[in-house]
């Protein structure tokens, strides 16, 4: 039980940490709203040409856009969560401080990133979503069960997102400089998460592939759960399998990294 | 030997070798081994306050990291409170406190008190104990006004005091301090030293501290260990360093008038300026006898004795001018 309280405290700290930066949050809300508007009109033009693209009608396409903007910072689709801190700590050697603590490195960062995610959801994500719902026709469920299923899918999406970025961050133990990895996280995140275009609309073999990659668990799955386009249990299973696989890989990499740790800076 | 009599920290032939790969060609790498710590053996008894000094890259931090369990020794035996640090890092963590002067354990963007609440949970400190320890640290380290301030707004001295408090909330038996006064001003240094002295005297916390500031050692540690190139060069009382370092004291004499250099072996004149002369003599020799001899033969007006500078002694030791010697602790 004691460790539960610790990681709750870490998550609360992660939440409050991001809450400190109000101007950055406000700027983020503005950015996501502006991008949402641009994307909505782009989508509407596209769906005019190709009705039912990816199996969505226009209202669903609009919903997808605003959900994407809502989850952009929440799931750190382009990075910008804990991983930049962790990479910096590895590079500067501050990681030494984390390692002698009686806490699990992976759980510590997971808790702090979930805290960050929750803040980004409430502080930054909800406003553009509500803005979209007010000014555009959206396909939102009316029953509590679907919203509850969506909440669970979102939580799993947070873990999947963390799992991917944890692997990327640990690479700093070998590469020292995280720039390249950070770029890779940005590009793969934007492309494979479906934040630009729903993965359902990806053509042919490319579509088949992107829909089974872990990134599919980030925006596509929660969106389909919310809009009733998929069986929630199947979505949970997909996300859970990836979450467990990524966390296990992270743990493996972590033990390899800490065994060879050459703590920087003497 | 009963458990209580065992030294708190034991190192026996501890080595740490790093593999360093160097690029020698387009795809060629040369593998080289760097011996950061070389057959290091020492013990620290419960309640001791020991200074661990050496030049940059001597192996001080590597030793501290092995003592916390972050690094695994390549060879040798290492025990802290009977625990093998690298095997049971988490269990050991509850019994040690660590302060790295150049790194912080505090939560950068959040108020100082948040970091302490986290320590409360992390070390599972009983509530009453936590309150008591926090109150004591807040009072002695003068943290009262800082608790609500985000750590990023603290000055270096304030942050260091905050870090020291964070390392002590769980009642560690031993505190490792890696350059705790680095970058601090005179007043902050004095506060930190005063606190450590009190901690050691009242709670009997064992302290192992690395530093480049010899005043830290002079004011806090009765015992000092000097390490260089991963080897222990000296282990004993601070005063004993003079002897080992073959240091000299300087006798400055003012004579009535300009005279040829004074002859008073084993002292030798190192400098003459008008009627004033500087004589160097071995630190172990009696100054009184020397002065008496000079006063008997020369018209002496005034004199002063300058103690050898411990920094010079250590600098000469680092430079390899003095063969290392270890005053083995009697156990």
**Phi-psi region for residue A222, left (φ > 0), alpha (ψ -120 to 50) or beta?**
alpha
Task: Kindly report, residue by residue over A60-116, the tens digit of the pLDDT.
Answer: 999 999 999 999 999 999 988 899 999 998 888 888 888 888 999 999 999 999 999
Tokens 């001295």, residue located: B157
Contact A94, A67 (CB under 8 A): no
Q: Give B102-114 as a DSSP string.
A: TS--S-TTSBHHH
Alpha-carbon distance A130 to nearest alpha carbon in chain B (angstroms): 30
Which is more confidently placed, A40 or B60?
A40
State yes or no: pLDDT of A30 exceeds 50: yes
pLDDT of the residue at A260? 66
pLDDT of the residue at B330? 35
Alpha-carbon distance B62 to nearest alpha carbon in chain A (angstroms): 7
How far, in Å, CA of B36 to CA of A225, rounded? 56
Tokens 């019994």, residue located: B95
Do A13 and B114 lie within an 8 Å CB cutoff?
yes
State yes or no: pLDDT of A20 exceeds 50: yes
pLDDT of the residue at A48? 95
pLDDT of the residue at A190? 92
Q: What is the DSSP letter of A121?
A: I
The phi, psi pair for A206, rounded to 5°, reads -55, -45
3-state helix, strand, coil in chain B (%, to 5): 35, 30, 35
Burial of B279 (0-12, 13-18, 19+ CB in 10 A): buried
Contact B53, B227 (CB under 8 A): yes
Task: Kindly report, residue by residue over A196-244, the tens digit of the pLDDT.
Answer: 999 999 999 999 999 999 999 999 999 999 999 999 999 999 999 999 9
Which is more confidently placed, A27 or A4?
A27
Query: H/E element holding B84?
Result: none
Average pLDDT over residues A108-130: 96
Q: Name the residue in chain B with its Cα closest to that of A102.
A: B90
pLDDT of the residue at B1? 45
A226 contacts: CB under 8 Å, gap ≥ 6: A63, A67, A140, A141, A146, A147, A150, A153
User: CA B243 → CA A193, B144, B221, B239, B285, distances in Å?
Assistant: 70, 45, 18, 8, 11
Task: Kindly report, residue by residue over A147-192, the tens digit of the pLDDT.
Answer: 999 999 999 999 999 999 999 999 998 887 778 898 999 999 999 9
Assigned token pair, A234: 């199947």
Q: Name the residue in chain A with its Cα closest to that of B114.
A: A13
| Beta partners for residue B271, in sequence order | B278
Contacts of B169 in chain A (CB under 8 A): none
Residues of chain B with pLDDT under 50: 1-2, 321, 323-331
Q: Is B301 helix (H, G, I), strand (E, B) or coil?
A: strand
Of B90, B102, B118, the CB nearest to A13: B118
Do B110 and A5 lie within an 8 Å CB cutoff?
no
User: What is the number of helices (H) and of strands (E) in chain B?
Assistant: 10, 13
Q: Is A11 helix (H, G, I), strand (E, B) or coil?
A: helix
Contacts of B88 in chain A (CB under 8 A): none
- Model's pTM, two decimal places? 0.83
End-to-end CA distance of chain A: 36
Do A9 and B117 lie within an 8 Å CB cutoff?
yes
Interface test with A, best of B19, B99, B100 (most A CBs within 10 A): B100
A125 contacts: CB under 8 Å, gap ≥ 6: A32, A69, A70, A71, A72, A73, A74
Do A100 and B89 lie within an 8 Å CB cutoff?
yes
Q: Is B80 helix (H, G, I), strand (E, B) or coil?
A: strand
Contact B231, B76 (CB under 8 A): no
How far, in Å, CA of A28 to CA of A11, rounded? 21
Do B100 and A97 lie within an 8 Å CB cutoff?
yes
């Amino acid at each position: 039980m004691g460790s539960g309280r610790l990681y709750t405290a870490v998550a609360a700290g992660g939440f409050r940490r991001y809450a400190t930066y109000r101007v950055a949050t406000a700027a983020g809300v503005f950015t996501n709203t502006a991008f949402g508007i641009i994307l909505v009109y782009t989508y509407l033009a596209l769906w005019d040409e190709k009705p039912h693209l990816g199996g969505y009608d226009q209202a669903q396409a609009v919903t997808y856009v605003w959900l994407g903007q809502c989850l952009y910072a929440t799931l750190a689709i382009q990075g910008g969560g804990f991983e930049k801190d962790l990479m910096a700590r590895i590079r500067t050697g501050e990681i030494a401080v984390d390692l002698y603590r009686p806490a699990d490195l992976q759980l510590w960062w997971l808790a702090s990133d979930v805290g960050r995610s929750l803040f980004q959801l409430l502080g930054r994500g909800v406003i553009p979503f509500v803005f979209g719902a007010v000014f555009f026709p959206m396909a939102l469920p009316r029953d509590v069960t679907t919203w509850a299923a969506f909440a669970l899918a979102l939580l799993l999406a947070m873990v999947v997102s963390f799992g991917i970025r944890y692997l990327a961050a640990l690479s700093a133990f070998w590469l020292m400089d995280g720039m390249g990895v950070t770029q890779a996280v940005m590009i793969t995140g934007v492309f494979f998460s479906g934040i630009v275009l729903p993965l359902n609309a990806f053509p042919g073999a490319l579509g088949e592939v992107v829909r089974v990659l872990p990134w599919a668990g980030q925006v596509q799955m929660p969106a389909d759960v919310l809009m009733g386009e998929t069986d929630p249990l199947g979505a949970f299973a997909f996300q859970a399998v990836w979450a467990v696989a990524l966390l296990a890989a992270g743990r493996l990499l972590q033990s390899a990294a800490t065994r060879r740790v050459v703590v920087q800076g003497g | 030997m009963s458990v209580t009599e065992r030294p708190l920290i034991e190192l026996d032939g501890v080595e740490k070798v790093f593999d360093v790969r160097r690029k020698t060609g387009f795809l060629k790498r040369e593998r080289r081994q760097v011996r950061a710590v070389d057959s290091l053996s020492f013990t620290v008894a419960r309640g001791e306050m020991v200074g661990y000094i050496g030049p940059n890259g001597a192996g001080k931090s590597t030793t501290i990291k092995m003592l916390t369990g972050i690094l695994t020794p390549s060879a040798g035996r290492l025990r802290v409170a009977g625990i093998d640090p690298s095997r049971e890092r988490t269990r050991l963590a509850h019994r040690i406190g660590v302060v790295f002067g150049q790194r912080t354990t505090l939560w950068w963007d959040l108020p100082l008190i948040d970091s302490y609440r986290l320590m409360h949970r992390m070390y599972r400190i009983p509530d009453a104990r936590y309150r008591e320890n926090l109150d004591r640290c807040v009072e002695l380290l003068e943290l009262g006004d800082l608790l609500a301030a985000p750590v990023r707004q603290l000055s270096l001295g304030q942050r260091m005091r905050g870090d020291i408090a964070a390392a002590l909330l769980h009642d560690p038996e031993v505190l490792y301090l890696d350059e705790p006064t680095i970058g601090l001003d005179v007043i902050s240094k004095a506060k930190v030293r005063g606190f450590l002295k009190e901690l050691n005297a009242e709670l009997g916390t064992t302290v192992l501290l690395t530093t480049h500031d010899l005043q830290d050692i002079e004011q806090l540690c009765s015992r000092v260990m000097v390490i260089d190139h991963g080897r222990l060069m000296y282990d004993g009382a601070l005063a004993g360093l003079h002897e080992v370092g073959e240091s000299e004291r300087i006798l400055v004499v003012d004579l009535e008038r300009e005279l040829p250099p004074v002859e008073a072996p084993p002292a030798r004149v190192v400098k003459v300026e008008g009627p004033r002369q500087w004589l160097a003599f071995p630190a172990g020799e009696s100054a009184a006898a020397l002065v008496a001899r000079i006063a008997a033969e020369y018209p002496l007006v005034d004199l002063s004795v300058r103690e050898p500078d411990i920094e010079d002694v250590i600098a000469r030791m680092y430079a390899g001018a003095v063969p290392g010697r270890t005053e083995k602790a009697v156990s």
